[in-house]
Chains A and B, each alone.
Chain A
Amino acid sequence: MTTLLIVQTAYLIGAICFILGLRGLSDPRTARRGNLIAALGMGLAIVASLFYPIADDQGNYLWIFGSLIVGSAIGWYKAAKVEMTGMPQLVSIFNGLGGGSAMLLAFLELRAQMDSADKVTLGVIAFTLFVGAVSFSGSILAYLKLDGKVRDKHVILPGHGWINLILLAASIALLVLLIISPSIGMALAALGLFLVYGFSFVAPIGGADMPVVISLLNSVTGISAATAGFLYGNQIMILGGILVGASGTILTVLMCEAMNRSLLNVIIGGFGTSTASSASQSDQDLSVQTAQPMDVAILLNYASRVILVPGYGMAVAQAQKYAKELDEMLSKRDVEMYYGIHPVAGRMPGHMNVLLAEVDISYDKLYDLDQSNDAIGETDVALIVGANDVVNPSALDDPGSSIYGMPVLEVWNAQQVVVFKRSMKPGYAGIQNPLFFKDNTKMLFGDAADSLKKIIDELKNL
């Protein structure tokens, strides 16, 4: 009795730690402490589980401590080694492992309880198996896509939306069958199908939609942990899982809103390619103005306020360190530089913030969408580094465009716009960007890191 009371109290404190930790994580000043509090809660939950009184305790502590040590070593090593540019991949793979763990646990519980369990328990087990498997295989594919090992076009089938619908229906059918007549064979068949569905579910979602799918998978993993908790009648598992599910859901909704698209629209798959053809026809009629690094350096030298809009291209070119160098140089000349961050810039929620924080840029210089749009009107120069669709004016004024209605950074309201770009190739959405042809826009062709470096060199001579 006493042990149980102590263990349950530890679980309760652990759960409170999760709540306080998440609250801390929603404010920059308390975020680091919040993370540590959540980790402390997790530590408490682990220790409590080691002492939890169970009817016929078999110990097996060798297995338990072995797994703890192996898992900690791998996790710690991966976390310490990862480059910030590899962060989206790492978050995906960690997330998949959590879902995979719930999936394996559901399988084991089914194997142990299939003759004795009632239908409700079987239903919970089967559902945990489903969400765990979807989170696992979906996250693995997301990881492969983010890491560039799998290209979107390799995994998208014609009519993929229908295929997914059929796979989902089949999965639900097997889930019900598994509840009605549970067996190892049935469980393995269901597991196989669930894994295929998870994979196929993520397959058509790519490129700029990755932030949505990563947050969605995060939420799915939380749900799998919560339903596993239901299975063990364990409150901290339920609470922890649901908190994660809720945070993942909020991020998913935020990302969808930032693109003015419904979740369903994202899930069914990418932007239409039909609009690309109509836009490309008018290409020849329009000409762009090009600039040299020297011109941009002069512009910057006489500016008083500069915005830099980063996109995925900045991460690819590793240009953030030069952004920082430019920032320092300009601040010495009393030029104020700030950064306009679109919520879906990059491949995961907050991707740009992480990259810029890595090079030591103070977070109060990172303006969100509304702050940026308020400030751009009084900005002299806008530098667009590796961003494209998030600065496309078509989103506001061209109802025929596939991104029409998406909130964008209205950089054209700055005195001068300089777009850093490799070539005239359109962005992820496959649509042309009228920003490039505006009178106050200049194109600076070449690798973003190179171009920034040249501008810095030119500035030194001014």
Chain B
Amino acid sequence: MMQENDKQEAIHSQPCNCCCIETLYTILDGEATEEQTLQVAGHIEKCLPCYQQYDLEVSIRELLKNRLEKKTPPQDLIDAIRAKIAMIA
């Protein structure tokens, strides 16, 4: 007979549909209610597939924010905008 821990492990390594990706997006996008967030946070702590899903989403967001090159607007663009506005103002 399976030990309680093994049983838990078996359940949690199965694909988990209990919290859908849409809910994770809503939470990560800051659009969820506090109740929804707490509920899912509690679940993620106990469910490996959901945790991995969450972890991946967080890491893609970090990648987009930190690794994507940020361009600096060239000075001639700023000057051209100011000059044209001065002309029509």
**Binding partners A and B:** no
Chain B interface (Cβ < 8 Å from any Cβ of A): none
